[in-house]
Structure 1
Amino acid sequence: MAVGARSGHGEPEDRPSSGGIPADSAGRAEGDGVPPGDGFPGGDSPGDDDSPGGGSTAQKKPRSFWKELPLLIGIALILALLIKTFLVQAFSIPSDSMQNTLQRGDRVLVDKLTPWFGSEPERGEVVVFHDPGGWLEDTAAPEPNAVQKFLSFIGLMPSAEEKDLIKRVIAIGGDTVECKKNGPVTVNGKALDDKSFIFEGNSACDDEPFGPIHVPEGRIWVMGDHRQNSLDSRYHQELPGQGTVSTDEVVGRAIVVAWPVNRWATLPVPSTFDQPGLNKAAAAVPAALGVAGALPLVFWRRRRLTSGRTAG
């Protein structure tokens, strides 16, 4: 028998597989990057997984709405508190003292942002302010229920613990305000045409004439639009401040009637407060300061000219 010949008949000769790479016993070519015998059950291969790194193909289920609800409520409460503290707050009108501009039960939104930037109340604005002391001492506040306490906490209702009032600013610090019987209210000698905003049939101040009152800096003189039904600055002249209110007590300016819907309206400043000459007293201060500042310059220049002539 020739050396190297196989015994028997019909057995194929050992020959390289296609590509010159020997095939293993499983019929898989060696050298293709997969060790022999490392198969993938079910026919899966690394390329069949869409997830990065060959992880699980199951997607994460979104959280239930009821699980998200407490978080949403918490965020809403925080935002409401921030808005109440720094931006706007709702107040309810408890009396008729601002008719017909405001009716009992109206809800107004009060701007609390601008005072944070140093803004002071201006003549003609409707403002909410804390009781300066003694204005509401005889007024009993009803005990709020749990819902009212919660709404006041987030700023949708005024706090029952805080005694607040709402009036119109008539004069500001540095002004002189006065009203004689049968006469108009005057500010710095200028008569106010208040017929456009006071209650129909009311007089300017016949029930309680006053003045002249010089309003100190940092304080305001306020009056209700329903003059014969408003215990305003006129009725508290015996208290410290002589009826004026410190600007530190001002919560903010009422800017809009938000409720009820059929009474929605803005609260602009009446045009009579924009009349020429009303700021005369205030305008005189910068002018006086300008003259005082110019005098030393004039004297210095005259001295230079005099010295120049003497030297010549």
Structure 2
Amino acid sequence: MGRRARARRVARRRRRATLREIPLLLGAALLIALVLKTFFVQAFVIPSGSMEETLRIGDRVVVDKLTPWFGAEVHRGDVVVFRDPGGWLGEEEGGRDTSSGPVRQLKKGLAFIGLLPSADEKDLIKRVVGTGGDTVACCDARGRVTVNGQAVEEPYVRAGNRPSEVEFRVHLPPGRLFVLGDHRANSGDSRFHRDAGHDGTVAEDAVVGRAVAVVWPFGHWSTPGHRERFARVPDAASRWPVHTEDSHTLAQARPKAGVALPTPAELPLVMGVVGPRLVRRGQWLEVRSERGGRRGGRPVRTRGAGRAGAVGRGNGRRRRRAGA
């Protein structure tokens, strides 16, 4: 009888311990979800048809927040989520949540911590066509958008739409983006906000993240980015020039910038190339600081090993005797 009582007491303690752990586990899960949503990834619901057929109404899109948080560049062809520059959201038509009050509040709470995609964020989603320094224009003789004079083929534009019904030519200052919706006939994008300041461009600082995948519905799973369509676009004329008058130039000249150092990923390659030239057969070879002329080098360090060092010292003694 005593043994059974002890077993029941142990079972009760285990149940109480489990009940105490559940709130801790839930709190940890919510904290992890909130951190992921804030710094790494977030899910968004597409509320309008301005990006059809690439993104349809109701699609769930995962957005990579590493792009703005870690300073990575936004590239032409990327689909980005950005904060409303002011007055853009009024032109985006989207559905409203018809759920009852408590259900709607619960959805908002779960969306806040990242467990549900947000449907009422004050953000927009468009495709980047031009970045800082680019000149974006429409249209060429075949009706295509051009970037820095290079026409761009855009198969992602909704069938039946022209690349643009509106002619434009915009030179983007540094730090600005020119964005267009894939459903060109139903998108209030940069073309229609040129009178609102900055020629309708969007600040890079306003970018929330880069759309990396459509995850729902499964039948529409896709990656919306199309950087390859802009691969032939030449660099903007305002980008940093390359100095060509000195054939020994090692890096592009950039204001307030020194010689580019190798990245950690390049170090093994650099050491693999330089290492064998500095160390050979246990000896330190002479490294010179070039100052012109065949004998203008200044030895930095030499080191012998084994007999090589002894021979070197012997040669030095013979030279001193000869000089004497």
* Alignment TM-score, normalising by the size of structure 2: 0.65
Q: Does 1:185 align with 2:142?
A: no
Q: How big is the alpha-carbon RMSD for the aligned residues of Structure 1 and Structure 2?
A: 2.8
Distance 2:221 2:119 in 1: 23
Change beyond 3 A, Cα 1:123–1:139: closer
Runs of 4+ in 1 over 6 A off after TM superposition: none
- Structure 1 residue 264: deviation in Å? 1.8
Aligned identity (percent) is 48
Give the AA of the match of 1:84.
Answer: K
Gaps of 5+ in 2: 1-8, 245-251, 257-291, 293-324
Equivalent residue of 2:205, what SS?
helix
Equivalent residue of 2:81, what SS?
strand
Distance 2:25 2:255 in 1: 61
Q: Does 1:146 align with 2:105?
A: yes
Give the AA of the match of 2:204.
Answer: T
Gaps of 5+ in 1: 1-57, 294-303, 305-312
Q: Is the 8 A contact 2:60 2:214 kept in 1?
A: yes
Change beyond 3 A, Cα 1:203–1:76: same
- Structure 1 residue 202: deviation in Å? 1.1
- Structure 1 residue 287: deviation in Å? 4.4
Q: Does 1:165 align with 2:124?
A: yes
* Alignment TM-score, normalising by the size of structure 1: 0.68
Q: Is the 8 A contact 2:240 2:254 kept in 1?
A: no
Distance 1:126 1:140 in 2: 19
Q: Is the 8 A contact 2:139 2:146 kept in 1?
A: no
Question: CA offsets per residue over residues 176-214 of structure 1, 9 Å max, x none?
Answer: 0000376210000000011x2110121111x22211x10
Equivalent residue of 1:169, what SS?
strand
Equivalent residue of 2:229, what SS?
helix
Question: In terms of mean alpha carbon deviation, does 260-269 or 90-99 score higher?
Answer: 260-269
Change beyond 3 A, Cα 1:292–1:108: closer
Q: Is the 8 A contact 1:197 1:270 kept in 2?
A: no
Change beyond 3 A, Cα 1:69–1:100: same
Q: Is the 8 A contact 2:176 2:201 kept in 1?
A: yes
Task: Find the partner of 1:222 among 179, 190, 201.
Answer: 179
- Tell me what 2:14 maps to: 62
- Tell me what 1:208 maps to: 166
Task: Find the partner of 2:241 among 285, 290, 297.
Answer: 285
Change beyond 3 A, Cα 1:105–1:66: same
Distance 2:243 2:118 in 1: 44
Q: Does 1:253 align with 2:210?
A: yes
Question: CA offsets per residue over residues 106-134 of structure 1, 9 Å max, x none?
Answer: 01000002322211211000000010011
Larger Rg: 1
